[in-house]
Homo-oligomer: A and B are copies of this chain.
Amino acid sequence: MQTVGTSVPRLDAVDKVTGRATYTGDIQLPGMAYAKVLSSPLPHARITSINTAEARQLPGVTAVLTPDQLHDIDPYYGNTVKDRPILAIDKVRYQGEPVAAVVAVDERTAERAVNLIQATYEELPVAADIDAALAEDAPMLHASNICHEYHYDWGDAEAGFAESDHVFEDTFTFPMVYHYALEPHTAIAHYTPQGITVWTSAQHPFQVRAELARIFDIPLQRVQIIVPYVGGGFGSKSYTKIEPLAVCLSRAAGRPVRLALTVEEAFKTTRRHAARCTIKTGVMQDGTFVARHCRVDLDTGAYADNGPLVCQRAGDRIPGPYHFPHLRVDSYAVYTNTTPAGSFRSIGAPQAAWASESQVDMIAAALGMDPLALRLKNLVAKGEEVRRGMRPLDGSPVEGMQRAAEAIGWGEAQAQTPGVKRGKGLGCNVSNVGSVPSSTAIVRMHADGSLTVMVGTTEIGQGSRVVLAQVAAEVLGIPLERVQVVASDTSIVPYDRSTGSSRSTTLMGLAVQGAAQDVQAQLLELAAQHFNSRSEALEIRNGQVHHQNASVTFSSLIQEEFGRGAGELIGKGYVSPRRNDGQLMQSPVFWEIGIAAVEVEVDETTGVLRLPQYVSVADVGKAIHPQQCEGQDEGAVMQGIGHTRFEAMHYEAGHLLNPNLIDYRVPVFSDLPDHFHSMLIENEDGPGPFGAKGLGEGGIVAAAPAIANAIYQATGVRIKTLPLTPERVWRALRDR
C-alpha cells in the first residue's frame, strides 16, 4: 500500500500550527450580536417570576428571551428523551440551568443586562446524589427519578453463585468528571423565516440538524449545521447542546447571534456519569469464573441527555472480556439535581471496568493466583461471543494481554526503596463501539484526476481528515496531496450519523472507500470504451488505467467523456451494515480492545503516585495512520489518568464547587508516565477499510483499575473509590 499505514502529515497541520485554523469562536458575521445566559443559582426550585423590564431598557440590548416566548415551538429536546427545555420551564432542576438570556451588541452589554433580570424562586428540596434521589421520600425531578433501567442475563446467576467455590462482592465508586475540552461550547445561529444556519462546535451535526428541524417544524434541508474545527469533544459536544437556545436567541433578535460559554458554564452542560457498582463474582478454586451479578447506579443529573444509552453500555461492559456461564446485570440511570450527564469517551466503560477489573485482582489475591494468569484463564478468545447475542470478538485480548505484560516486565523483580513502594498492575477491556453504523460519503474526481472527499465526520482533533483522504487515495492510487477533504456542513456533505464511539475510521472509512470504488468502477467503464475492451482486462495502477502495454490517465478518460478540461466523476458510498437477519446492524460494529499495564511508585509519606512506565495496547486491525493511532491512544490514557488520579466535580447540596481549572485538577505534564508506550496490534481483522477498527476510547477504560491494581501490588492497599488523590492514598495507607 502506498499511503495507508504511513504517518503522512495531517491535512490540518499547517492550518493549526499557523493559527489559521478557524474555530466557531473565530467566526464573525455581519450584524452579529452576542448572547449571555441567566442561569439558575439554585439546584431545584420553582420559578415564581422573571422580570426583564430593566434588562430590556438597557441601550444595546436587542432581545431578552424568556420561556414564555417558546410557545410556538417544541421547547423540549434531547437525544434519547425530549425532557430538556431550551430555557427552564416552571422549575429549575440544577444549578446553572438556563433561565433567561439576553442578546446585545456586545458581550459586556449582554452580561450587564443579564444582571438586571430579576428572577425569583421558591426553593425545593434537593436530590443531591443517587442515594438522595432513590430515597423513599425523595424530591422528584421528573415523573420518576429513575431515568432509565437496563437488565439482561444469561444462565442463572444465583445458581452460579451456589456452584462457585468462592463468591466476592464489592462496591466501587466512580466520580463525576468533566471532559474539559479546551474549547468551551460555542454556537453562532442565524435564524430566518427561510431557514436556519448554525456554526457550532458540535460532534454530530446531522443530529443537531434533525433536532432543530423538529423543534422548529421545518424540513431538514432548511437547516444547515456547519462545524468548523472543534477544540476537543470527548463526548461533551455529542448530540444537541446549546444550539436550540442560540437559534431562539437569533429568532428573537432578528440577526445572527453568538453564544459562547465560559468554562464555568460549559461545566454545566454535560459531564460523565458518577457511578456506584456493586459487583458480585463467583469463581472456582482454580480461578475459573462461574457467575457474576452487578448492580450499576449511574448519576445522570437533571436531564436524560445520553443517560439511557450510557446506562445500557455500562451494563453491557460489566462482564468485561471474560467468559461467564452465568450473568445478570441491573443498570440504572438516576436523575439528581446536578449537571446532566451524557456521553464521555467510551460511555459507561471506565465505570464498569473500574469495578470489574479491580475485583479481578482482588479475586487473584484471595486465591493466591497471579492476576495475569487469572485473566488469561478466563479471557474470551477471538471469534467467541463476549456478550451473548452480539457480534463475536474480532480481536484477541489474550494476545494484547501477553504483549502488554511482556512489555511492562510483568513478574520481574522490582527495586524497592525505603518509603517508596513499587508495583505493577494490569487492566483489560473490550467495548462494544461504533454506535449506529450509518454513514455516507461522496468522492469527486476532477478533470485533472485530483479528488475531493466529502464527509460529515467532524474534525475534533482526532485527525479524521487525513485518514479519510488516505483511504480514498489508496483505493484510486493517487498521491495524497491531490486529495482534499470537505467536511462537516450538513448542506454540502452527505449524511453521517455521528463522530464518536471510535466509529469514523471504520464506518466513514468504509463509506469513503465505497465512494472511491464507485469512481473506480466508472473509470473502468470509461477505459473499457477507450480501449474497446472488457473492463476485466483492465488494471488501475498509479493513477492510470492499463490495458496490455498501453495506459490512459484518469484525467484523459474524464476529458474524453466531458470535453477538454471539463467534467468530473461523482462516486457515492453508503454504509448501513446489516446483520444476518437483514436488520440494520446495531452496536457493536466491532469490539474495541484496550489493555493497560502500568508500573506505579507510591510515596508512603505523602500518598503521591508516580508512573515510571505505562504500556497501552490497542487492537486497531490496521493502523491507517500509525502516528495518529498512537496519539489517540496516548490521549485516551492521559484522560484516564485524569479521572484515576485527580478529577472529580465536587457538589455540595447541589452546588458545584469547582467549575474551573484551579479547583478542578486535570493532569499536568509531571503527572504523566515517565515512559509511555502505545502498542498497536495489526491483524487486519477489523470490519473497516483495509481491515481497520477504530480506536481512541480503549485507552481510557482500564487506566484506573490498572493503577489501583499496581498500588495494591506495591502496598497491599485496595482502594475502591476514585480518584486516587494523594490524600485518599495516604489515608488508605494510614488505615492499612
A residues with CB within 8 A of B:
14-15, 20, 26, 28, 30, 192-195, 206-207, 210, 213, 219-222, 436-438, 440, 442, 444, 446-448, 450-452, 454, 481-484, 486, 489, 491-495, 497, 561-563, 565-568, 570, 572, 574, 576, 584
Known interface pairs A30-B28, A442-B442, A562-B576; A220-B447 also in contact (CB < 8 Å): yes
Residue numbers in B under 8 Å from A26 (CB-CB): 30
Residue numbers in B under 8 Å from A481 (CB-CB): 219
Contact yes or no, A482 B219, CB < 8 A: yes
Contact yes or no, B483 A15, CB < 8 A: no
What is the count of identical protomers in the complex? 2
29 contacts between A and B (CB under 8 A): A14-B194, A15-B194, A26-B30, A28-B30, A210-B565, A213-B448, A219-B446, A219-B450, A219-B481, A220-B446, A220-B450, A221-B446, A221-B452, A221-B483, A436-B563, A436-B566, A438-B562, A440-B567, A442-B570, A444-B494, A447-B495, A484-B491, A489-B492, A494-B568, A495-B566, A562-B576, A566-B576, A567-B574, A570-B572
**Least Cβ–Cβ distance between A495 and chain B, in angstroms:** 4
Which residue in chain B gives the minimum CB-CB distance to A584? B563
Residue numbers in B under 8 Å from A448 (CB-CB): 213, 219-220
CA gap between A194 and B11 in the complex, in Å:
9
Residue numbers in B under 8 Å from A454 (CB-CB): 492
Contact yes or no, A210 B447, CB < 8 A: yes
Residue numbers in B under 8 Å from A438 (CB-CB): 562-563, 566-567
CA gap between A207 and B520 in the complex, in Å:
25
Known interface pairs A20-B192, A563-B438; A451-B221 also in contact (CB < 8 Å): yes
Residue numbers in B under 8 Å from A491 (CB-CB): 452, 484, 486
CA gap between A220 and B568 in the complex, in Å:
11
CA gap between A26 and B448 in the complex, in Å:
32
Residue numbers in B under 8 Å from A213 (CB-CB): 448
Residue numbers in B under 8 Å from A14 (CB-CB): 192-194
Q: Which of B193, B207, B440, B486 contacts A492 (CB 8 A)?
A: B486
**Least Cβ–Cβ distance between A468 and chain B, in angstroms:** 14
Residue numbers in B under 8 Å from A568 (CB-CB): 440, 494-495
Which residue in chain B gives the minimum CB-CB distance to A444? B494
**Least Cβ–Cβ distance between A168 and chain B, in angstroms:** 40
Which residue in chain B gives the minimum CB-CB distance to A219? B450
Q: Which of B222, B446, B486 contacts A495 (CB 8 A)?
A: B446
CA gap between A452 and B222 in the complex, in Å:
9
Other A-B pairs, 13, CB within 8 Å; known A436-B566, A438-B566 = A195-B484, A206-B566, A210-B447, A213-B448, A220-B450, A221-B483, A436-B563, A440-B567, A447-B495, A486-B491, A492-B492, A495-B566, A497-B563
Residue numbers in B under 8 Å from A567 (CB-CB): 438, 440, 495, 574, 576
**Least Cβ–Cβ distance between A577 and chain B, in angstroms:** 10
CA gap between A6 and B494 in the complex, in Å:
30
CA gap between A440 and B450 in the complex, in Å:
17
Residue numbers in B under 8 Å from A483 (CB-CB): 221
CA gap between A566 and B28 in the complex, in Å:
32
CA gap between A30 and B26 in the complex, in Å:
9
CA gap between A574 and B491 in the complex, in Å:
21
**Least Cβ–Cβ distance between A255 and chain B, in angstroms:** 10
CA gap between A452 and B568 in the complex, in Å:
19
Residue numbers in B under 8 Å from A576 (CB-CB): 561-563, 566-567
CA gap between A570 and B496 in the complex, in Å:
13
Residue numbers in B under 8 Å from A492 (CB-CB): 454, 486, 489, 492-493
